[in-house]
Every structure is written in structure tokens, then in C-alpha cells.
């Protein structure tokens, strides 16, 4: 193992005995080896990891026995009253979780933040045993509790309950509603990002036709979920050093055991590097052009706003909350610094804080 690499990972490990360090590293690399084997031999496992470690599936809405799953808040859950207790179950660097945090913070709503263990999901098993992804938000009021699972639904519900207004500006380059599982040139701008051929099916064309009826605001929300997130994943896990950055938060998390933290840290680092490579190939982003694809997508969005401060015009709408949350997920990472240095996003992000 190169000396520089040894000193890098050793500096991340607290003062423990050699036996404890050995056990932690062995556990981590065992999980990595198992994950890589499963990736090659188990297609369902590979597909699950391709969805990233935090991505959600709005179709997965089975209701557990304990807490009802809803798409909209009950009418008697008045967020303005301060009587609703909110808990957000998240991964720290998850773009979808950051979307939810963004809308809650903007409206100054108090909430409890719960970090979910990426492997065991112990924090959510009691009320969502059938669901393995984040974000999850619970709302408790008048002796009742409900949960919401889709970040876009949560953002829309909170923004609606708080009376957030604003309509995205129209323009000749307005983002068109995408085919749900593909990236298109009209979504991102750069030639490098194109849909997979299998998306040009009769089913895909029917979806695209139906999505054309979405409002401009909904088109931007879809762009954030299905274009911007993909480019973020491709960039923040593109190499070992940057992938390690995204899991650093685990090393200081007090609730997780040391061996468990190291197992997740190392397995997550390597598995998400594989995910990044798979995404890059899936969306035809040439190797070495990951940064440029992201820069062009972000600048396209800023240019589209024109003289407006937000996608919602003079005030933010749910599209702004979705885009803002995705971009905030790279906070403190190399990708964030490069976005500030090489795109026009700095002014918009500063105004959104």
C-alpha cells in the first residue's frame, strides 16, 4: 500500500489498538469484496446499487402497519401552528434528503434530524420495515403520525402548507419534460449526455407525450431529480479521493459503532465509485468530461432564469427547493468548490441561503 495512502486513511482513524484497527479494516474490505462479487453475479443487487445509496422510488409505497404513508399532509396537520412534530430520517450527503432539509430550513420549521445507518436501517425499521431508502419524514400531530417517502412529494407538501408561491419563467430554452428514466440533450445542454437507445420505445414515447402537459415548475423538478442528480453522482464519486470525501461524516458519527462505521465507510467508497462509472456509461458521458457536463447543465439553468432571482421568479417555488437541495448535497466536497469556480451558480446559491 503506498505510503501516502496509508497516512491518509490512518489519519481518519481515532486512537485504537492495532487489533481493533485490523478488525475494522478486515470488516470493511470483506464487505467491499462481497459487494463487488454481488455486483458481478447478482443483477438485482447491481440494479439496486445503481439507484445510489439514497435514491428513492416513488412507486414503492406499500404501507406498513405502524405509520400510514401519505402523499399529502392531512388537513388538520397545520405546519404554521407549530403543533406538528417533524422528524427527517436521512443520509448526510444524500441529494434527496438535502432537498427536504432545504424546504424545512427556508420556512424555519423545527425538525429532528436522524442519521440512518446505511447497512442496518435500524432507525426506520419500527415504522417503515418495508422501505429501505431515504429520505423518510414523519409528521406527528393530535396523537396521530403519518410518514412521507418521496422527497418531491415532501417538498410540495411543505411548500403548499406554508403558502410558498412563485412561477418559473418561460423562455425559448425552457426545459421540456423528460422521459422518466433517461437524460436528454434538452435537459442538460451538453452533447455528452444522451438517452439510452432503449428509451426510444413506444412506452417511452407515450410517457414523454404525457409529461409534456406538466407545468414548467414540474418540468424543473423532474430535471433536478433525473438530470442534475445523475450528474452529481457521476462527479462526487468519480475517483477514490472524492468518493472518500462523501463518507467522511460517518467517521465522526457517535451513534454508529467503530467497526460498523469503517465497514460502511470503505464499502461505500468503493461501491459508489462503481456506481459513478456505471452511471457515466449509462448516460454516455465520456470519461474525463464529467465536470464539463455538470458545468453546462448548471449554467443552462442559471441562464434560463434570466433577470429573475429564482426559478419561481421573485420568490422561490418548489423547483428552487429541489435544485437547491441537490446542489447543497455537495457542500464541502471538491465538486462544490469547482462549481463555484467554473459556473455561474455562485450568485444564485448565495441568494438562496
Q: What is the mean pLDDT of residues 102-112?
A: 93
Residue 255, pLDDT score: 76
Q: Alpha-carbon dihedral of residues 100, 220, 340, 96, nearest 10 degrees? A: 30
Beta pairing partners, 89: 114, 136
CA distances from 60 to 73, 95, 148 (A): 18, 19, 12
CATH architecture of 185-352: Up-down Bundle (1.20)
Maximum C-alpha span of the chain? 63
Mean pLDDT of the chain: 75
Domain 68-161 has CATH 3.40.30.10: yes
For residue 280, with 0-12 CB atoms within 10 Å meaning exposed, 13-18 middle and 19 or more buried, which class applies?
buried
Rounded CA-CA distance 144/76 in Å is: 10
Q: Using 50, 70 and 90 to split pLDDT, how confident is the model at 224? A: confident
322-338 pLDDT, tens digit per residue, is 899 899 999 999 999 99
**Higher per-residue pLDDT: 194 or 237:** 237
Do domains 68-161 and 185-352 share one topology? The answer is no
**Higher per-residue pLDDT: 10 or 224:** 224
Does position 350 have pLDDT exceeding 50, yes or no?
yes
**Domain boundaries defined on the chain:** 68-161, 185-352
Rounded CA-CA distance 270/220 in Å is: 32
Does position 17 have pLDDT exceeding 80, yes or no?
no
CA within 13 Å, CB half, 279: 28
Rounded CA-CA distance 353/348 in Å is: 9
Phi, psi (degrees; rounded to nearest 5) at 234: -60, -35
Amino acid at each position: 500500500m503506498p505510503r501516502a495512502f496509508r497516512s491518509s486513511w490512518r489519519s481518519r482513524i481515532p486512537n485504537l489498538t492495532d487489533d481493533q484497527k485490523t478488525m475494522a479494516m478486515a470488516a470493511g474490505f470483506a464487505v467491499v469484496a462481497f459487494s463487488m462479487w454481488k455486483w458481478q453475479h447478482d443483477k438485482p443487487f447491481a440494479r439496486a446499487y445503481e439507484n445510489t445509496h439514497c435514491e428513492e422510488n416513488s412507486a414503492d409505497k406499500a404501507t406498513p402497519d405502524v405509520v400510514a404513508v401519505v402523499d399529502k399532509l392531512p388537513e388538520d396537520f397545520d405546519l404554521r401552528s407549530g403543533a406538528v412534530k417533524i422528524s427527517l430520517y436521512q443520509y448526510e450527503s444524500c441529494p434527496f434528503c438535502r432537498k427536504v432539509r432545504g424546504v424545512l430550513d427556508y420556512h424555519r420549521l423545527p425538525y429532528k434530524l436522524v442519521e440512518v445507518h446505511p447497512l442496518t436501517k435500524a432507525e426506520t425499521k419500527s415504522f417503515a420495515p418495508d422501505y429501505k431508502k431515504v429520505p423518510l419524514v414523519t409528521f406527528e400531530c393530535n396523537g396521530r403520525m403519518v410518514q412521507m417517502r418521496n422527497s418531491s412529494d415532501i417538498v410540495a407538501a411543505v411548500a403548499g402548507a406554508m403558502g410558498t408561491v412563485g412561477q418559473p419563467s418561460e423562455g425559448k430554452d425552457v426545459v421540456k419534460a423528460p422521459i422518466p428514466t433517461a437524460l436528454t440533450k434538452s435537459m442538460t445542454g451538453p452533447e455528452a449526455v444522451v438517452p439510452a437507445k432503449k428509451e426510444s420505445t413506444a412506452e417511452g414515447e407515450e410517457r414523454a407525450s404525457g409529461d409534456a402537459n406538466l407545468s414548467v415548475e414540474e418540468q424543473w423538478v423532474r430535471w433536478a431529480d433525473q438530470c442534475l442528480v445523475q450528474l452529481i453522482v457521476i462527479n462526487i464519486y468519480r475517483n477514490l479521493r472524492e468518493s472518500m470525501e462523501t463518507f467522511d461524516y460517518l467517521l465522526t458519527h457517535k451513534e454508529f459503532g467503530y467497526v460498523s462505521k469503517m465497514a460502511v465507510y470503505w464499502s461505500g467508497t468503493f461501491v459508489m465509485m462503481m456506481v459513478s462509472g456505471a452511471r457515466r456509461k449509462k448516460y454516455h458521458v465520456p470519461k474525463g468530461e464529467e465536470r464539463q457536463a455538470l458545468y453546462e447543465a448548471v449554467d443552462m439553468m442559471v441562464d434560463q432564469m434570466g433577470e429573475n432571482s429564482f426559478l419561481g421568479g421573485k420568490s422561490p417555488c418548489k423547483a428552487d427547493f429541489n435544485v437547491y437541495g441537490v446542489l447543497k448535497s455537495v457542500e464541502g466536497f471538491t465538486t462544490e468548490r469547482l462549481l463555484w469556480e467554473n459556473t455561474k451558480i455562485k450568485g444564485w446559491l448565495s441568494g438562496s441561503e
